[in-house]
Amino acid sequence: MKRKCQDYKSRLPDNTAMKQQQLPAFRLQLSANEILSGFFAIGLFCLGMGIILLLSAKSIREVEINYTEKCATCAKLREDATNFDKECNCSISFYLPQKMEGNVYLYYKLYGFYQNLYRYILSRSNIQLVGTDVKDVRNCAPFKTSDNGLPIAPCGAIANSMFNDTIVLLYNFNSSTHIRVPMVRTETAWWTDKYVKFQNPTFQNLSSAFAGTAKPPNWPKPVYELDEKDPGNNGFVNDDFIVWMRTAAFPNFKKLYRRLHRIGNFTEGLPAGSYSFIINYNFPVGRFQGQKAVVLSTLTWSGGSSLFLALAYLVTGAVTLLASFSMMAVHLKLKERKTFFLQ
């Protein structure tokens, strides 16, 4: 289409490298040596990485206690929705044989809870959560409005199903002295979540900011009463709420609940000894045949325990090395009877 007058002068195509397909180019033709040495290198790297990961995974101390069965009475109580206002506490004791050094993190873990359902993930309103329009409940079906027609804040299925057990860890210093292990809830959520994605509506008073909205049906208290002691942790910017709102990828997941505050006895971490969890049991898992657990864990350079990654690296490294040996064997054996095509 771009034929101009000048093209008519000479219809001889331009002699440019591009048009004549003569662009200078590197011809990628991996030789056997290159491939084989690449394979060896990668195999060794993977093997090494696997060993490092394995060692670091071994260094992690982790305690997981499934309390679904252990708190059977509470679980039964929660089966019946009419008992929602009844408190139920449950205590679980355990013994820590070795001390957990360094930072210790407390997670809650759910089994069989599908936080990744398509309609579940969609059922939230980012506009509401960022505080621009508290009444925006467009995407929140089926938890848009309460029975009396008020928009729910925070709306949607995710918010409604928020994990609401409270977990307290006691250190049984001796049979009579129970020290409550100091835990902090700060820095459990991502910075962007806490300061960008979740914002309270700008009002001097939180309760008036949420005026004209209803609490999610499953919640005992409205959102502005999540943490009345700390205004920086109340409303939408509540850490537990934010952590819950970051939906998990798979039906079994753990979420960060608290961090060990390393003071007093616990500056080194959790000393060995006897502990007990006091759990205020609110979240019903029996209905979906799920399980709940609490996890105490330390970290390593790569984060949490990644035994799978370590093993995967080991296997990949081993297979790659094996493959490179067999490829080399094949190559050397065939080299003799390879004939050059020109002859």
Name which of residues 79 to 98 contact another protein (CB under 8 A).
none
Please report, as residue ranges, which positions from 153 to 192 form the binding site for another protein (by CB under 8 A). Answer: 157, 160-161, 187-192
Q: Which stretch in 23-31, 71-79, 84-92, 164-172 sits in contact with another protein by CB under 8 A?
A: 23-31
Nearer to another protein, 212 or 303 (CB): 303
CB of 95 to another protein, least distance (A): 22
Q: Which is nearer to another protein, 49 or 278 (CB)?
A: 49
Q: Is 132 in the site for another protein (CB under 8 A)?
A: yes
Report the C-alpha gap between 227 and 261 in whole angstroms. Answer: 19
Per the listing, tokens 């394979």 go with: 39
Contacts of 249 (CB under 8 A, 6+ apart): 116
CA-based nearest residue to 137, from 243, 43, 210 = 210
- Of 84, 95, 142, 265, which one interacts with another protein (CB under 8 A)? 142
Asked if 59 touches another protein (CB under 8 A), the answer is: no
Contact between 33 and another protein (CB under 8 A)?
Answer: no
227: nearest Cα among 143, 164, 150: 164
How many C-beta atoms surround the C-beta of residue 189 within 10 A?
24
Write down the least CB distance from residue 116 to another protein, Å: 4
Residue 300, strand partner residues: 303
Q: Does 341 bind another protein (CB under 8 A)?
A: yes
Question: Of 294, 291, 284, which is closest to residue 164 (Cα–Cα)?
Answer: 284
Contact call for residue 254 and another protein (CB under 8 A): yes
Asked whether 106 and 169 are in contact (CB, 8 A), the reply is yes
Sign of the alpha-carbon dihedral angle for 181, 184, 185, 189: negative
Taking only Cα atoms into account, the Rg of the chain, rounded to an integer number of angstroms, comes to 30
* Interface with another protein (CB under 8 A), residue from 281, 282, 284, 296: 284
3-state class of 288 per DSSP?
helix
Size of the site for another protein (CB under 8 A): 104
Nearer to another protein, 115 or 213 (CB): 115
**What is the nearest approach in angstroms of another protein to the Cβ of residue 166?**
18
CB of 200 to another protein, least distance (A): 15
Question: Which residues face 93 on adjacent strands?
Answer: 276
Smaller CB separation from another protein, 25 or 177? 25
